[in-house]
Amino acid sequence: MAASSAPSRWGLRILGLGYVAILLLAPLVLIFYKTFEEGISPPLEAITSPDGLHALKLTLIMVAIAVPLNTVFGIGCALLLVRHRMRGSAIIDAIINLPFAISPVVIGLSLFLLYGTTGWFEPGLSEAGIKVLFSVPGMVLASIFVSLPFVVRETVPVLQEIGTEQEQAAQTLGANAWQTFWRVTLPAIRWGVAYGVVLTTARVLGEFGAVSVVSGSISGQTQTLPLFVAKQYENFNLPGAFGASVLLALLALSTLLAMNFLKRKEDA
Amino acid sequence: MEAATVSRRSTPRAGLRLPGVGVGRGLVVLYLSILVLLPLAALTDQSLSQGLGHFWEQVTQPQALRSLKLTLIASTIVVLINATFGTIIAWLLVRDQFPGKSVVNAVIDLPFALPTIVASLILIQLWGSKSPVGINIALTQTAVVVALLFVTLPFVVRAVQPLLIEMDREMEEAAASLGAGGWTIFRRVIFPNLLPGIGAGIALAFARALGEFGSVLLFAGGLPDTQVSSVFIRQQIESGNDTGAAAVSVVLLLASLLCLAIVGLIQTWSGRHERSGGQIVPMPIDKDEH
C-alpha cells in the first residue's frame, strides 16, 4: 500500500471502490429501478393491500415492544457492568454477545423447542390458554433475542469514557442515585444509547430467520414485512415483494443516516 | 467482547451507584436467563434427547455433512476475500482523499442495516435469471459465496479502520527514510499493526457467515448442493425432524462460540485498544487524517 506512488493508489481505489459499487450499490440501485419501472402504483398497491398493511402493523408492534425493553435492559446492564464490579461480570458480558454469533434459524428453533408442543412449558401453557408459537408472543421473543446486545454494546464504551468525576461531584452536592442518573449520567451517554436504539430498531424491523421459524408466516396474521417479502416472492407476486423490499431498504437507508448523525454527535 | 476491559475498568470506585445493585443484578440475570439461556438449554436438551449416538448420527448423515461442509468452505472463502478488500477499503477511508468518501463510509454499514431477505432479493435481481448484465449465478454455490460476501463486508473494514486511524505514521516515515519501498512498508510495518483488527474482523465475519440464513435463502435456494446449514436446519424443522435440526444447530452454536472466544482472545492480547480490534456492532469512523 504505497501511499506515495500514484499508480498503486489508483489501483487500490479502483479495487476498493469498485468492490463496494458492484457488491453493495449495484443491486440496491437496481431494485429501486425495477420497483418503479412501471410507475409507483403497483408497489404501492401491494404494500397497501390488507396483508401488506397488516405486515407493516405487526412489524411496528415488534419494534414497539422489543426496542423499549432492550433499551431499558441495555442501559441497566451497561451500568452494572461498568460501574459495579460483580462476580460473573465476564460471564454476563459473554452471554450478551451470544445473539450476535448464533444463527437466526438456531434462535428460532430454540424458541420453537422451548415453547412447542413437546417443550418444557407444556402442557402448562396450553392449559392456561397461552399461545406462544405461531402467534405474536413468540415473534416478540425472537425479536428481543436477536436485538438484545446492541444497546449494551454501544453504552458500555461511552460509560467508560465519561468516567465518574461528574457523578461523584453530583453526589457530593447531595444528589441521590436516581437524580445523578437522570441529570448527569443519562445526558452524558444519550448519543451512545440512541445509536444502540437505532441499531436495535433496524434489526427488529429486518429480522427474518428467527421470526420465520416461530411465526409460521400466516398471511394477515403472523407476517412481518420481511416475511411478507419472502411470501410474495415465493408466490411470484414480484411487485409486492419489490414494494415491501423498497420500503425496508428506505428504512435501512434512514438507519444509515441516523447512525452517521449520532456518531457525529457522539464524537463532538 | 469487552469482557477483559470491563472487568479491568470496573474496579470499585465511587461513582453512580444505583440503589439495589443486588436487585439490578438479579433482574439482568433473570432477563438473560429467560430470553437467551432457557431457549438454548431447550435446544441442547432436544439435540441429546435420544442419546449421544443419535446426535452423532444426525450430524453425520450425508445431507447434514454436505451442508456443514458447504457452510465451512464458503465461509472460509468469503472471509479471506473480505479480509483483503476490507483492509483495502479501510485504508482508502482513512488514508486516501476522494470525493464522496463520507458516503462510501456510510454505505459500508448497509449490510448491517438492510434486512437479509431484502439482500437476497436484490442480489437475485442483479445476478439471477433476469440479470441485466447477463450473469446468472442464482441457485448455485457461487450465489452462497456472493450472498455471504454481501452480509459480511463491514466486519473487517470496521475492525481495521480504528487501528489505521490510531497508527503512528512516524513508523512508516522512519521505514521510508531507511529506504523501504511501499510494499515493504506495508508488509513489515503497516500489516503487523493491523493484524489484530483483521483477525478479529475475520472471526466476527466467520461467525456471521456460519449462521447466515435470509440472504442465502432466495438467492442460493435449498437445493441439495446449495444448502447451507441454516437452510438445512430450516428444512429439518419443516419435515418434523426436531432432533436432527437441534443436533446440527448445536454444532453451529459451538462453532460460533469458538469464533467469539477467538475475538475475545485477540482483544485481550491487543489490550489497550478499547474501541478497536473487532467491533461486533458497526462503528462508523468519520475522523479525517488531515
Q: What is the pLDDT of residue B18?
A: 56
Region A152-179 average pLDDT: 91
Longest dimension (CA), chain B: 68
DSSP-H helix ranges across B96-185: 101-107, 110-113, 116-127, 141-166, 169-177, 182-185
Is residue A181 within 8 Å of B18, Cβ to Cβ?
yes
**Cα(B218)–Cα(A242) distance, rounded to whole angstroms?**
13
Contacting residues for B127 by C-beta, under 8 A, at least 6 apart: A27, B135, B136, B137, B138, B143, B146, B219
Q: Give the pLDDT score at B1.
A: 38
What pLDDT score does A191 carry? Answer: 93
The residue ranking higher by pLDDT, B182 or B238, is B238
The set of cell numbers assigned to A85 is: 464490579
Tell me: pLDDT of B58 over 90. yes
User: Does residue A175 belong to the interface with chain B, where contact is any CB pair within 8 Å?
Assistant: no
How many H-runs (helices) and E-runs (strands) does chain B carry?
15, 0
CA distance B281 to B263: 13
How far is the alpha carbon of A207 from chain B, nearest alpha carbon, in Å? 6
What is the spatial distance between Cα B267 and Cα B274, in angstroms, rounded to a whole number? 8
The position carrying cell 441497566 is A76
Distance between B164 CA and the closest CA of chain A, angstroms: 13
Tell me the pLDDT band of B12, cut-offs 50, 70 and 90: very low
Return d(Cα B247, Cα B252) in angstroms, integer. 9
**C-beta atoms of A150 and B6 within 8 A:** no
Q: What is the pLDDT of residue B10?
A: 41
Nearest chain A residue to B90 by CA: give it.
A16
Residue B8 touches partner A, C-beta closer than 8 Å: no
pLDDT given at position B271: 67
Structure ipTM: 0.92
DSSP secondary structure of A96-108: HHHHHHS-HHHHH
Grid cell, residue B8, equals: 479491568
Q: Nearest-CA distance from B74 to chain A in Å? A: 16
Contact B214, B120 (CB under 8 A): yes
The residue to which cell 437496481 is assigned: A30
What is chain A's length? 268
CATH of B64-270, one of 1.10.3720.10, 1.10.1660.10, 3.40.50.720, 1.20.120.1770: 1.10.3720.10
Q: Report whether the peptide linkage leading into residue A104 is cis, meaning its omega lies within 30 degrees of zero.
A: no
Q: Going by C-beta distance under 8 Å and a sequence separation of 6 or more, which residues neighbour residue B206? A: B75, B76, B79, B259
Average per-residue pLDDT in chain B? 87
Domain ranges of chain B: 64-270
A80/B125 Cβ within 8 A: no
Nearest 10 degrees: Cα torsion B125, B131, B136, B137: -30
Above 60 in pLDDT, residue B290? no
Q: Which of B95, B221, B75, B251 is nearest to B164 (CA)?
A: B95
Which pLDDT tens digit goes with each residue over A208-263?
999 999 998 788 889 999 999 999 999 999 999 999 999 999 999 999 999 989 98
Inform me whether the C-beta atom of residue B26 falls under 8 Å from chain A C-beta atoms: no
Contacts of residue B264 in chain A, CB cutoff 8 Å?
94
Q: Which of A4, A96, A105 to mutate to test the interface with B (most CBs of B within 10 A)?
A: A105
Q: From its phi and psi, is residue B181 left (phi > 0), alpha (psi between -120 and 50) or beta?
A: beta
Instruction: Establish whether the linkage from the previous residue to A123 is cis, with ω within 30° of 0.
Output: yes
Q: Poorest-confidence range of A2-11, B55-64, B170-179, B259-268?
A: A2-11
* Higher pLDDT pick, B281 / A106: A106
Q: Does A6 touch chain B (CB under 8 A)?
A: no
- Beta carbons of A105 and B213 less than 8 Å apart: yes
Interatomic CA distance for residues B9 and B13, integer angstroms: 10
- Which residues between 208 and 237 in chain A have a beta carbon less than 8 angstroms from any beta carbon of chain B? 208-209, 212-213, 225-227, 229-230, 233
Of B123, B118, B144, give the one whose Cα is nearest residue A253. B118
Q: What are phi and psi of B150, to 5 degrees?
A: -60, -55
Q: What CA–CA distance (Å, rounded) separates A217 from A231?
A: 8
| A25-29, A36-40, B282-286: range with highest mean pLDDT | A25-29
Which residues in chain A (76-135) have CB-CB distances under 8 A to chain B? 76-77, 79-86, 88-90, 92-107, 109-114, 116, 118-120
Put simply, the answer to whether B42 touches A119 (Cβ < 8 Å) is yes
What Rg do the C-alpha atoms of chain B give, in angstroms? 22
Count of helices and strands (H, E) across chain A:
15, 0
What is the C-alpha radius of gyration for chain A, rounded to an integer number of angstroms? 23
Whether B151 and B82 have beta carbons less than 8 Å apart is answered as no
For A201, nearest residue in chain B (alpha carbons): B113
Residues in chain A closer than 8 A to B211 (CB atoms): 101-106
3-state secondary structure of B105: helix
User: In this structure, what C-alpha cell is assigned to residue B211?
Assistant: 449462521
Q: Is B57 exposed, middle or buried (0-12, 13-18, 19+ CB in 10 A)?
A: middle
In this predicted structure, the answer to whether residue B14 has a pLDDT above a threshold of 60 is: no
Average pLDDT over residues B74-92: 97
CB contact under 8 A, B46 and A1: no
Cell, residue A105: 434459524
pLDDT score for B277: 40
Cell of A250: 428506505
- The residues near B20 (Cβ < 8 Å, ≥ 6 apart) are none
To the nearest whole Å, the CA of A163 is away from the closest chain B CA by 8
Confidence of residue B274 (pLDDT cuts 50, 70, 90): very low
CA distances (Å), B52 to each of A109, A122, A262, B59, in order?
20, 25, 50, 11
Give the DSSP H or E segment for B236: helix B229-238
Give A40-267's CATH code, choosing from 3.10.28.10, 1.10.3720.10, 1.20.1740.10, 3.30.1300.10.
1.10.3720.10
Alpha carbon A31 to its chain centroid, in Å, reads 22
Q: What is the mean pLDDT of residues A132-153?
A: 95
The better pLDDT of the pair B70, B17 is held by B70
Q: What percent of chain B has pLDDT over 70?
A: 87
Residues of B in contact with A1 (CB under 8 A): 88, 91, 95, 182, 185-186, 190
Instruction: Inspect the interface and report whether the beta carbons of B32 and A264 lie closer than 8 Å.
Output: no
The DSSP-derived string for A116-159 is STTSTTTTHHHHTT---TTSHHHHHHHHHHHHTHHHHHHHHHHH
Collect all residues of chain B within an 8 Å Cβ-Cβ radius of residue A168: 14-15
Grid cell, residue B5, equals 476491559
The C-alpha atoms of residue B283 and residue B117 are separated, in whole angstroms, by: 23
The Cα diameter of chain A in Å comes to 74
Residue B181 at interface with chain A, using a CB cutoff of 8 Å: yes
Place B19 in a pLDDT band, splitting at 50, 70 and 90: low
Per-residue pLDDT of B237-266, as tens digits, reads: 999 999 999 999 999 999 989 998 998 888
A148 Cα to chain B: minimum distance (Å): 9
d(CA A258, CA A195): 8
Side chain identity, residue A123: P
CA distance A180 to B204: 37
Average pLDDT over residues A159-165: 91
pLDDT tens for A81-130 read 998 877 788 889 889 999 988 999 999 999 999 998 888 888 788 888 88
Q: How far is CA B78 from the centre of its chain?
A: 11
DSSP one-letter code for B33: I
Choose the weakest-confidence range: A15-29, A130-144, B16-30.
B16-30
* Short-list B209, B243, B30, B10, CA closest to A84: B10
Report yes or no: B32 and A96 within 8 Å, Cβ to Cβ: yes
> Is the pLDDT at A2 greater than 50, yes or no?
no
At A82, is the secondary structure helix, strand, or coil?
helix
What's the pLDDT tens digit per position in B102-151? 999 999 999 999 999 999 999 999 999 989 999 999 999 999 999 999 99
What tens digit of pLDDT does each residue of A41-57 get? 888 988 899 999 999 99
- The shortest C-alpha distance from B69 to chain A (Å) reads 16
